Amino acid sequence: MLISLVIGICSLVILPLASQEPPTTRESLPQLKQKLRHALFTALLPEKQAQREALYSLEKQLASGGDYREAIHARDQRILLEQEIAQTQQHLLNPPVIAHAAVDLPQSIPLENSVAQLNQLTLDPANNNRLSGWTTTESSATWTLPNLPPGGYEILLRYSLNPSSTPPVIQLKETLYHLPVALESTDNQPTSKKVGTLRISNGSGPLILSPLSISADQQLHIISLTLQPSAL
């Protein structure tokens, strides 16, 4: 049902544009992407809200039945979904401004772990300066962004993580916007993954990485964090 809904919205957006002249400037393609993204968010928001209510009901049912482990898992998934809903609503109320200056940026912008401000974490120079000690939601790493233009940036995260039935949920947060991410297990092997796109409003402000839910036995290590300019 959800796939059919998305396809239908895509058709409504794309078909009228198909009869127009193809974009001839750099600005045209990002503008079309923004319109399509806005239409998709509008269509997906009710579905996300329905899923949140279903998870809330399941969480209460599991807790009432004494299955607290699964109830906590349902709660974590609901929290993640609530973060996504808030971000979707924020996007619909304040559509992103396309950063035209992004065309002059390098394809990758690494943020060095060695210059991050660490809270309840350790820097491990013997292992590629990885960040270790992610055992509590109070742990965090904070970078100062290198004077970036506002716009969307895809997040490339290199990390390692033990197998777990309940994956940890982390959050990347800048001045106004945030990106929650449920990390997949890497069998404790270093792996690079694109975990989503974060809108940057203040390109010289802080970027904070912190867990929303995590346990010590998951042994999360953050090896590197890289931003890649992306038109939202």
Mean pLDDT of 148-166: 88
- Is the per-residue pLDDT at 201 higher than 60? yes
Tens of pLDDT along 66-123?
A: 888 888 988 998 898 888 888 887 777 666 555 444 456 888 999 999 999 999 999 9
Q: Give the Cα separation of 223 and 139 in Å (integer).
A: 15
Q: pLDDT at residue 6 above 60?
A: no
Whether the CB-CB separation of 169 and 83 falls below 8 Å is answered with no
Q: In terms of C-beta density within 10 A (0-12 exposed, 13-18 middle, 19 or more buried), how is residue 140 classed? A: buried
CB 196 within 8 A of CB 128: no
Q: How far apart are CA 217 and CA 88, in angstroms?
A: 32
Cross-strand bridge partners of residue 118 = 141
**Local structure of 137: helix, strand or coil:** coil
Distance CA 191, CA 202 (A): 29
CA distances from 167 to 105, 213, 217, 220 (A): 34, 9, 11, 10
Q: Please report the pLDDT score of residue 108 as a whole number.
A: 93
Tell me the CATH class for 100-230. Answer: mainly beta
CA nearest 198: which of 158, 232, 153?
153
Mean pLDDT of 1-26: 42
Percentage with pLDDT > 70 across the chain: 80
Give yes or no for residue 4 having a pLDDT over 60: no
SS3 state at 81: helix
Write down the pLDDT at residue 223.
96
pLDDT at 194 over 50: yes
3-class DSSP state of 20: coil
pTM of the model as a whole: 0.59
